[in-house]
Copies of this chain bind each other. A is one copy, B any other.
Amino acid sequence: MPDYSIHDLGDIKLQSGQQLQKAFLAYKTYDTLDAKKSNVIVYTTPFGAQHTDTEWMIGTDMALDPNRYFIISPNMFGNGLSISPSNAPPPHDRGRFPNVTLYDNVVQQQRLLRERFGIERVQLVTGFSMGAQQAFHWGAFFPEMVERIAPICGSAKTSRHNFVFLESVKAALMADPAFRDGWFPDKPERGLRAVARAYAAWAVSQAFYREKLYEKLGFATIEDFLVNAWEVNMLCRDANNMMAMWWSWQHADISANDHYGGDLKNALGAIHARALVMPSATDCYFTVEDNRQEVRHMPNAELRPIPSIWGHRAGNPMQSPEDLKFLNGALRELLAS
CB within 8 Å of B: which of A162-182?
163-165, 167-168, 170-177, 179
B168 and A210 contacting across the interface, CB-CB below 8 Å: no
Across-interface contacts of A287 in B (CB, < 8 A): 206
B191 and A226 contacting across the interface, CB-CB below 8 Å: no
Known: A161-B206, A206-B289, A208-B161. A198 touches B171 (CB 8 A): yes
A193 and B175 contacting across the interface, CB-CB below 8 Å: yes
A164 and B289 contacting across the interface, CB-CB below 8 Å: no
| A160 contacts chain B at the CB level, 8 A cutoff | yes
A164 and B226 contacting across the interface, CB-CB below 8 Å: yes
Q: Which of chain B's residues has its CB closest to A226's CB?
A: B167
Known: A164-B201, A164-B226, A198-B198. A193 touches B210 (CB 8 A): no
Across-interface contacts of A171 in B (CB, < 8 A): 172, 190, 193-194, 196-198
Across-interface contacts of A264 in B (CB, < 8 A): none
Minimum CB–CB distance from A326 to chain B (whole Å) comes to 22
Q: How many copies does the complex hold?
A: 2
| A222 contacts chain B at the CB level, 8 A cutoff | yes
Provide the bound-state CA to CA distance between A167 and B227, in Å.
12
Interface of A is mostly: helix
| A145 contacts chain B at the CB level, 8 A cutoff | no
Provide the bound-state CA to CA distance between A222 and B167, in Å.
10
Across-interface contacts of A176 in B (CB, < 8 A): 175-177
Across-interface contacts of A196 in B (CB, < 8 A): 171
Across-interface contacts of A175 in B (CB, < 8 A): 172-173, 175-176, 188, 190-191, 193-194
Provide the bound-state CA to CA distance between A168 and B168, in Å.
10
Q: Which of chain B's residues has its CB closest to A223's CB?
A: B167
A160 and B197 contacting across the interface, CB-CB below 8 Å: no
| A58 contacts chain B at the CB level, 8 A cutoff | no
Across-interface contacts of A194 in B (CB, < 8 A): 168, 171-172, 174-175, 194
Provide the bound-state CA to CA distance between A287 and B287, in Å.
16
| A119 contacts chain B at the CB level, 8 A cutoff | no
- For chain A, the bracket of interface size reads 35 or more
Provide the bound-state CA to CA distance between A171 and B285, in Å.
20
Across-interface contacts of A161 in B (CB, < 8 A): 201, 205-206, 208-210
Q: Which of B212, B289, B290 contacts A160 (CB 8 A)?
A: B212
Provide the bound-state CA to CA distance between A207 and B179, in Å.
32
B289 and A167 contacting across the interface, CB-CB below 8 Å: no
- Map CB proximity to B onto A274-297 as digits: 1 under 8 Å, 0 otherwise: 000000000011010110000000
Residue contacts A-B, CB under 8 angstroms, 18 given: A160-B212, A161-B208, A161-B210, A167-B197, A167-B201, A168-B194, A168-B197, A168-B200, A168-B201, A170-B197, A171-B197, A175-B176, A175-B193, A175-B194, A177-B177, A198-B198, A206-B284, A206-B289
Residues on A close to B: CB < 8 A? Answer: 159-161, 163-165, 167-168, 170-177, 179, 188, 190-191, 193-194, 196-198, 200-201, 205-210, 212, 222, 226, 284-285, 287, 289-290
Beyond A167-B197, A176-B177, A206-B290, list 16 extra A-B contacts (CB 8 Å): A159-B206, A159-B209, A160-B210, A161-B205, A161-B208, A164-B222, A164-B226, A167-B201, A168-B198, A168-B200, A168-B201, A175-B175, A175-B190, A175-B194, A176-B176, A206-B284
